[in-house]
Structure 1
Amino acid sequence: MDEIPEETAGPFPGDGSNGPNVLTESGIVRSDLTKSFGTATGVAEGIPLTVQLVVLDAAKDTPLPGAAVYLWHCDAQGRYSLYDGEITKENYCRGVQAADAAGTVTFTTIFPGAYQGRWPHIHFEVYSSLSEATAAGKISATSQLALPAEACTAVYATDGYDGSAQNLSRTSLQTDNVFRDDAAVHQLATMSGDVKTGYTARLAVGV
């Protein structure tokens, strides 16, 4: 399979490359990203979203059990924990998981909002192991998952996503500054679910 396209981590990675480093904090290894950990107590509100990434050796098309993924995204209001205004002391919507025998990592979180200038997305970094990730060590791949338009439209019609529908209408996968090179052909998640029961986003990640 093809390798996942290399993308920017953006200005809010929380991996020590631009300000705060959440990777070395106790509590970062977790599957539920809806709550902050440590001394922070904030909770991210929004439509439930399960994110499943399958980490594969691109050359062999085989799973990479034990590889680790650090995943992060904005909240329903388009804000990033650790960085934005009143949530600089929160660390929700961020976490690390090690891949199981099938190469799969699973996170429970909320559907992110759409902020000005970007198509709705989720950031992630792949590391060779959990110990490498929690030491903020060598990154194997940095990329972004794109969320499908149909799910975004449905979610942004619900309460709590003020401004997201308008922001979504002003961009596209073809014009987004990250996805426009190939319209996210390797990064567009397969989506199931609905706004009442929550969504699941799945993506194969070749490294």
Structure 2
Amino acid sequence: MNPDDSTARRDREWLDADGNPIDEDHRGLVYDIRTLVDRRRALGIFGGVALTSLLAACGATDDTDASATPSSTGSSSPSAAPSASATTEAEASVPLDEVPDETAGPYPADGSNGIDVLDDSGIVRADIRSSFGSSTTVADGVPLTIALTVRDAATGAALAGRGVYLWHCDRGGDYSLYSRGVENENYLRGVQETDANGTVTFTSIYPACYSGRWPHIHFEVYDDIATAVASGPIVKTSQIALPPETNDAVYATSGYEQSVRNASQVSLQSDNVFRDDGAVHQLATMSGSVTAGYTAALTIGV
């Protein structure tokens, strides 16, 4: 297209129905944004993705205002909501803080403290409620789905194909393979590979609050599944903190009685792991209910 043709087309956009020029003060948001971009393009203030999103949003708003059809009640039809894929791409382009490194604790079963469950057949699984191998015991408790999303802290990009090992205590506050009475169980432990969105999802039960610790879930991130099951180098070791409101609701149910007292004696600020920053980057987002089960979601930067 000839540059002069483009300029002429844009000039015609700002004429009224009688062909008279529209004053700049009344040309609207799209005109303002285009003018701003023209003035700052050489400075590179807007990135390609951000600029495209900004103009698209303005265009959508302007088109909606111009084409909205009044309903019988006098209101206009709402514009379409942003697509999920666009939202995901936007989130993935934003850097995020790296999740703090935390202790794996005394019961990791990753080979660092005697027991190694990572090389056992059956450890790679999504449902970690039952033991595998010689035992099929199922851990009781309020259902909990754990969705952990792993992203590159520097870029926000989803890290697909990473290995994630996750474990936590049972309803009584005991850790399989270590605690008295469950030494021969290996439930509430599992390994999975992150999907294209960097997410792994485990089916589990809500952990107890045992004496001296805030309710939490342990995890380790590896470069891939092969490295995880070989107990290879760990990229990140950290913990997920569970929010007080959900803890209160769960611990009021049968089987969690001892958690009520334990939870009353600890806080995020006094917990020996989360007290450094109050679990700012480790506190899960919760949805669900006691009867339907909960989902704990957390995005971490590594």
TM-score w.r.t. the length of structure 1 is 0.99
Asked whether 1:100 is paired with 2:195, we answer yes
Residues 74-153 of structure 1: matches in 2 within 5 Å? 74-153=169-248
1:38-53 correspondence to structure 2 within 5 Å: 38-53=133-148
Unpaired runs of 5+ residues, structure 2, are 1-95
Corresponding residue of 1:59? 154
SS of equivalent to 1:158 = coil
Q: Deviations over 1:67-117 (max 9, x none)?
A: 011000000000000001110010000000000000000000000000000
Give 1:192's aligned residue. 287
Percent same amino acid among aligned pairs? 62
Q: Which residue of 2 aligns with 1:36?
A: 131
* Partner Cα separation in structure 1 for residue 116 and residue 227 of structure 2: 14
For the pair 1:158 / 2:253, whether they are aligned, the reply is yes
- Alignment RMSD, CA only? 0.5
**TM-score, reference length from structure 2:** 0.68
Amino acid at match of 1:107: F
**Which residue of 149, 152, 164 maps to 1:69?**
164
Q: Distance in 2 between matches of 1:56 and 1:114?
A: 29
- Letter of the 2:207 partner, please give it: P
Letter of the aligned partner of 2:101 in structure 1? E
Report which of the two structures shows the higher radius of gyration computed on alpha carbons. 2
Q: Aligned partner of 2:195: which letter? A: D
SS in 2 for 1:159: coil
Letter of the structure 1 residue corresponding to residue 215 of structure 2: P
CA distance, structure 2, for counterparts of residue 169 and residue 24 of structure 1: 38
Structure 2 SS opposite 1:131? helix
Deviations 1:127-179 (A, max 9, x none): 01000001010000000000000000000000011210110000000100000
Q: Distance in 1 between matches of 2:293 and 2:157?
A: 30
Distance in 2, matches of 1:87 and 1:162, equals: 19
Q: SS where residue 191 of structure 1 aligns? A: strand
- In 2: Cα distance, 1:191 partner to 1:65 partner: 23
Q: Of the two structures, which has the highest relative contact order with CA contacts closer than 8 Å and spacing of 6 or more?
A: 1
**Mapped partners of 2:180, 2:138: distance in 1:** 16
- Distance in 1 (CA, whole Å) between partners of 2:288 and 2:212 is 26
Aligned AA (1:196): T
Counterpart CA distance in 2 for 1:124 and 1:162 is 26
- Which whole-Å CA distance do the structure 2 matches of 1:88 and 1:38 have between them? 14
Which contiguous aligned blocks of 4+ residues in structure 1 show a shift greater than 3 angstroms?
none
In structure 1, how many angstroms separate the alpha carbons of the residues matched to 2:146 and 2:114?
A: 26
